């Protein structure tokens, strides 16, 4: 291929490197007002009344909106009422000339609350007599909220799992609790809103991973047609899942303020507000795994208990990701069962965070795999090589055939890179020269690489202009991975023009609906649509050129901006001449692509191998060495794949070693560390001593464009369990809760020492 697979300059590189890129927080318009919000001091309360009369008298204050204005409108997949459901939820919004005026106005607003009893954790919410967060109950299901008495949120089984586990030669079980994590994107959930009363069009710029979802939610709530709402997200300063399927109430309130004031309105949350916009909530997972003496897995049982926060959003999707993406997929087994509960609580929204549930669900699963290998007496890598699925195996709930081919090869490559055979030892079996204990671990994870057709489809349009340039309309957001550049490469390859001849309209609802930037699905969903649109445009170019060159269509090709005869390359003409010919002037190609899970199950893969040093006197864990590997089908651009693999140093490593939301459950679930000083996100200086170059395996996937497959989410998902298993290998202590902070590790070491001394 001419362009796909090559390392090219990112479409947004110069704009970002020079500071010219305009993010949502950079947008300023003439006459723009500032929106600020009064937030609830309670976790659950009914709004009795709102009095803004004193604030309305202030010069420079132009408009208000409150919770009672939103009754009957929809956000986060819920129909809003007169209740607020978590501490810090927006209650009243004001639009003023300056931020200072807006804050002063909010101090004059009087809100009367009727405080209600709430639930803040899984145990409280799951009680039969618990206060109901929503009238239907506290258990989330596909059909809506249900009472606890009606059972779990979802369940699936193949074979007879419990019987298989009981009859197996070896069995292990473990329960692991994961903690709450904040996304920490540098750009907060900001938006601007502008209402054109003459054309009756609302224009919004939102720092978003899903402009189409925002468009649909806002249009529905404001009783507008989709064409009356245009949402753009040109440059997005990070998302990690928090900005997907998350049409914040503040966006809707800002739009209403713009309509009421007839002025553009800008909302930029402070970091303390951003920290409660969306979270990866805590969860508890229980696992039973069983195998025969030869290491063949015979049964897998998994139960998930998730906190879902106050709103529906994608609760069930996250729960499905925690179970379906893990239990029937990570290892081959004829007997698999998973069951899960996701409950409403009076806590902020539970949002996706790279890994879409399988990050959390895979942590304890990998520990159970490590335990089972040890129970049998097998090397953990050999156990994986024996049991990971191969291409064609049935995986997921629908048991579609796996199209990912290089799982074993990637496991082996990462093991070789970390020198596994030379360094692996029994738990507690190696002390470093400085007295610290050495540990080594290796894990794998697999997530989605496409979305089923009942969720969305990929759509794209390619226009070829008279000068031979090409404009791609693909509305996906680009949240930093360089997806717009990948779209540009695919379009150039499929049409047959130089890379520099292509431009892309991305992050804009003027482009065809193509779903959100989620689930590592863009490469396949939008990439396939762009390829089909490019193929369609190329076909039309050849159809016209055949008449002009007097050659049969099947004898022509389009390469590097020229249409030429395959047999006689000198017989050619530029694409621009084809488009300029009489009766043409523009050629438009369209592409639509979707797939069902039953047809195929492409999975994004990552393997992580790492070494740690554990200081038994302080409990500090130091990450010494790490390698990440993936089979991405085919790399559209290897440097961008490497960048994704390097991304593990933020959310993945930070999650297991330092990041944690300090939540005061005695004070309405108030989060105490609402800033980037007290919330300990690691930087490049304290992540890992050696991050080896990423290992990129390419086994082309027949589902993807040119064999490519997305892999962005998965790159985080094997890191935490690899570190957990490496720590066990170092000190012989199996941790059943995250994160592994120094105090927790030291306490466990002392407890083990005291037990051994008795």
Residues forming the active site = 713
- Which helix (H) or strand (E) segment holds residue 56: the answer is helix 53-56
Q: What's the farthest any 2 CA atoms get from each other in the chain? A: 94
End-to-end Cα spacing for the chain: 68
How far apart CA 528 and CA 532 sit, in angstroms, is 6
Helices (H), 69-137: 99-107, 122-125
CA-wise closest residue to 279 among 312, 249, 248, 242: 242
Which residues have a Cβ under 8 Å from the Cβ of 683 and sit 6 or more positions away? none
DSSP reduced 3-state for 165: helix
Residue 629: strand pairing partners? 607, 695
Beta strand pairing status for 229-232 and 201-206?
parallel
> Strand ranges (DSSP E) for 632-704?
663-664, 670-671, 690-691, 695-697
How far apart CA 230 and CA 511 sit, in angstroms, is 10
Please tell me what DSSP assigns to residue 77. T
Asked whether the beta carbons of 506 and 490 are under 8 A apart, the reply is: no
Q: How many CB atoms lie within 10 A of CB 581?
A: 15
How far apart CA 648 and CA 656 sit, in angstroms, is 11
Beta strand pairing status for 110-115 and 170-178?
unpaired
- Which helix (H) or strand (E) segment holds residue 171: the answer is strand 170-178
How far apart CA 579 and CA 153 sit, in angstroms, is 56
Q: CA triplet 674, 680, 684: central angle to 5 degrees?
A: 130
Asked whether the beta carbons of 332 and 262 are under 8 A apart, the reply is: no
How far apart CA 736 and CA 717 sit, in angstroms, is 17
Q: What tokens were used for 726?
A: 């490496």
Q: How many CB atoms lie within 10 A of CB 535?
A: 16
CA-wise closest residue to 210 among 178, 179, 164, 247: 247
Radius of gyration of the chain (CA): 27
């Amino acid at each position: 291929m001419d362009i796909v697979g090559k390392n090219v300059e990112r479409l947004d590189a110069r704009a970002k490197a020079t500071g010219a890129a305009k993010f949502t927080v950079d947008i300023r318009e003439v006459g723009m007002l500032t929106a600020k919000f009064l937030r609830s001091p309670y976790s659950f309360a009914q709004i009795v009344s709102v009095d803004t009369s004193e604030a309305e008298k202030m010069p420079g204050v132009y408009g208000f909106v409150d919770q009672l204005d939103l009754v009957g409108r929809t956000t986060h997949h819920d129909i809003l009422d007169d209740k607020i459901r978590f501490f810090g939820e927006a209650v009243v919004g004001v639009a003023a000339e300056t931020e200072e005026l807006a804050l002063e106005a909010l101090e004059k607003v009087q809100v009367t609350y009727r405080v209600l009893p709430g639930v803040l954790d899984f145990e409280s919410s799951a009680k039969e007599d618990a206060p109901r967060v929503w009238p239907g109950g506290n258990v989330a299901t596909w059909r809506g909220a249900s009472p606890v008495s009606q059972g779990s949120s979802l369940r699936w089984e193949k074979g007879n799992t419990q019987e298989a586990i009981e009859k197996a030669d070896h069995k292990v079980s473990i329960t692991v609790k994961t903690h709450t994590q904040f996304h920490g994107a540098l750009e907060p959930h900001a938006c601007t809103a502008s209402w054109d009363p003459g054309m009756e069009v609302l224009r919004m710029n939102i720092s978003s991973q899903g402009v189409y979802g925002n468009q649909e939610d806002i249009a529905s709530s404001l009783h507008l047609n989709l064409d009356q709402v245009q949402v753009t997200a040109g440059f997005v300063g990070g998302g990690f899942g928090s900005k997907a399927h998350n049409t914040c109430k503040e966006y809707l309130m800002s739009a209403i303020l713009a309509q009421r004031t007839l002025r553009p309105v800008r909302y930029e949350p402070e970091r303390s507000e951003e920290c409660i916009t969306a979270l990866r909530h805590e969860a508890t997972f229980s696992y039973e795994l069983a195998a025969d003496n030869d290491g063949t897995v015979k049964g897998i049982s998994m139960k998930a208990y998730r906190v879902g926060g106050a709103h529906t959003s994608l609760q069930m999707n996250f729960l499905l990701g925690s179970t379906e993406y893990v239990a029937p997929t990570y290892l081959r087994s004829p007997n698999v069962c998973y069951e899960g509960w996701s409950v409403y609580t009076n806590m902020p929204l539970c949002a996706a965070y790279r890994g879409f549930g399988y990050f959390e669900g895979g942590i304890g699963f990998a520990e159970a795999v490590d335990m089972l290998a040890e129970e049998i007496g097998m090397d953990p890598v050999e156990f994986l090589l024996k049991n990971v699925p191969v291409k064609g195996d049935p995986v997921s709930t629908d048991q579609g055939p796996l199209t990912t081919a290089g799982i074993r090869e990637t496991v082996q490559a990462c093991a070789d890179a970390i020198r596994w055979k030379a360094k692996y030892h029994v738990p507690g079996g190696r002390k470093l020269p400085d007295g610290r204990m050495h540990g080594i671990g290796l894990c794998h994870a697999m997530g989605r690489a496409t979305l089923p057709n009942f969720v969305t489809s990929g759509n794209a349009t390619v226009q070829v202009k008279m000068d031979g340039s090409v404009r791609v309309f693909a509305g996906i957001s680009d949240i930093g991975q360089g997806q717009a550049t990948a779209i540009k490469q695919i379009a150039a390859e499929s049409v047959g023009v130089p890379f520099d001849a292509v431009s892309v309209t991305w992050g804009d609802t003027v482009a065809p609906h193509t779903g959100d930037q989620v689930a590592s699905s863009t490469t396949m969903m939008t990439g396939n649509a762009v390829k089909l649109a490019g193929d369609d445009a190329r076909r039309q170019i050849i159809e016209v050129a055949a008449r002009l060159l007097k050659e049969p269509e099947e004898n022509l090709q389009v390469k590097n901006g020229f249409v030429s005869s395959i047999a006689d390359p000198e017989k050619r003409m530029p694409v621009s001449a084809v488009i300029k010919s009489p009766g043409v002037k523009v050629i438009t190609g369209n592409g639509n692509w979707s797939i069902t899970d039953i047809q195929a199950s492409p999975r994004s893969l990552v393997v992580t191998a790492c070494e740690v040093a554990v200081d038994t006197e302080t409990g500090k864990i130091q990450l010494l060495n790490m390698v990440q590997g993936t089979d991405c089908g085919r790399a559209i651009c290897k440097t961008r794949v490497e960048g994704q693999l390097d991304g593990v140093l933020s959310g993945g490593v930070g999650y297991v070693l330092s990041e944690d939301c300090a939540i005061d459950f005695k004070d309405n679930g108030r989060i105490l560390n609402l800033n980037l000083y007290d919330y300990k996100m690691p930087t490049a200086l304290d992540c890992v001593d050696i991050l080896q170059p990423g290992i990129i395996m390419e086994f082309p996937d027949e589902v993807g464009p040119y064999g490519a497959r997305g892999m962005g989410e998965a790159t985080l998902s094997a890191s935490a369990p690899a570190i957990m298993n490496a720590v066990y290998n170092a000190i012989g202590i199996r941790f059943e809760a995250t994160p592994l902070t120094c105090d927790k590790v030291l306490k466990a070491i002392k407890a083990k020492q005291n037990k051994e001394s008795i």
